[in-house]
């Protein structure tokens, strides 16, 4: 299972990269806004800066919603850096664009996916990644992680190579459920990745080991 970080913040990306467990990055217009990155030029520079930090795929989202606009914007984004993956919304012209980019060998991430049917369409169109938004589904009182299991089942039935990129992850439990249900990638806030390592028994056990070591060794610190 690959770990992507879901942010446009360079410090968080560097911290996750330093952990040695980072495989890629996803961004979206809201994450750019949250990090105060405005204007096409600054946003493109931010994608380049992110590509300097990580070695894996970096999703950059198009704003256009018509076929020609998505193609123009997507080709410009893809030309920025070989690590850029063009993030395309799950709409009719988006599906057409996924097929176009797939035929051209440009990597894509189909975003805003909330149902198995949407995921199936994205896979048929040749998307590299499909992004089911599990946290936002949870917000509607439906278990979002179940969608990962459904998509996994469908993709495995037919051998689709489209990777399931679980998105809208809010906490460590989401990551565990995605791993159980066979997501290829989880894109997570840094807090959720760091949360995976926490366990009170680890802290208690470590404190005990250090205390016992000090009892039989002359450590002054």
Active site residues: 87
Query: Rule CB under 6 A: is residue 26 a binding residue for ligand E4P?
Result: yes
Taking the complex as a whole, how short is the minimal distance between the CB of residue 211 and ligand E4P, in angstroms?
41
Residue 46 token pair = 């931010």
Residue 118 in contact with ligand E4P, rule: CB under 6 A: no
> Is residue 99 within the footprint of ligand E4P (CB under 6 A)?
no
End-to-end distance of the chain based on CA atoms, in angstroms?
40
Answer yes or no whether residue 135 interacts with ligand E4P by CB under 6 A.
yes
Which region, judged by CB under 6 A, interacts with ligand E4P, from 73-81, 131-139, 141-149, 210-218? 131-139
User: Residue 136 interacts with ligand E4P (CB under 6 A)?
Assistant: yes
Closest among 88, 81, 86, 87 to 53, alpha carbons compared: 81
43 binds ligand E4P (CB under 6 A): no
**Which residue's CB comes closest to ligand E4P?**
168
User: Smallest distance from the beta carbon of 144 to ligand E4P, in angstroms?
Assistant: 10
Q: Write down the H helix ranges in the chain.
A: 10-19, 29-34, 40-53, 67-80, 92-104, 116-124, 134-138, 145-158, 172-180, 190-195, 200-216
CA–CA gap between residue 10 and residue 79 (Å, rounded): 21
Instruction: Decide whether 30 or 202 has the Cβ nearer to ligand E4P.
Output: 30
Binding site for ligand E4P (CB under 6 A): 6, 26, 28, 111, 131, 133, 135-136, 167-168, 187
């Amino acid at each position: 299972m690959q770990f992507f970080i879901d942010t446009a913040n360079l410090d968080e990306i560097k911290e996750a990269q330093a952990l040695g467990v980072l495989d890629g990055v996803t961004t979206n217009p809201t994450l750019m806004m949250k990090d105060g990155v405005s204007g096409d030029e600054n946003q493109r520079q931010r994608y380049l800066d992110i590509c300097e930090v990580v070695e894996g795929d970096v999703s950059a989202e198009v704003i256009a919603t018509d076929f020609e606009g998505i193609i123009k914007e997507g080709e410009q984004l893809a030309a920025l850096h070989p690590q850029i993956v063009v993030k395309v919304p799950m709409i009719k012209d988006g599906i057409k664009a996924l097929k176009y980019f797939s035929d051209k060998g440009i990597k894509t991430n189909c975003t805003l996916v909330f149902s198995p049917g949407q995921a199936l369409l994205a896979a048929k169109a040749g998307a590299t990644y499909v992004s089911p938004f599990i946290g936002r589904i949870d917000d509607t009182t439906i278990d979002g992680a179940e969608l990962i299991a459904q998509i996994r089942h469908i993709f495995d039935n037919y051998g689709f190579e489209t990777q399931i990129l679980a998105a809208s992850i809010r906490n460590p439990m989401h990551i565990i459920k995605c791993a159980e249900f066979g997501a290829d990638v989880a894109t997570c806030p840094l807090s959720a990745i760091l949360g995976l390592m926490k366990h009170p028994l680890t802290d208690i056990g470590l404190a005990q080991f250090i205390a016992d070591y000090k009892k039989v060794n002359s450590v002054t610190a």
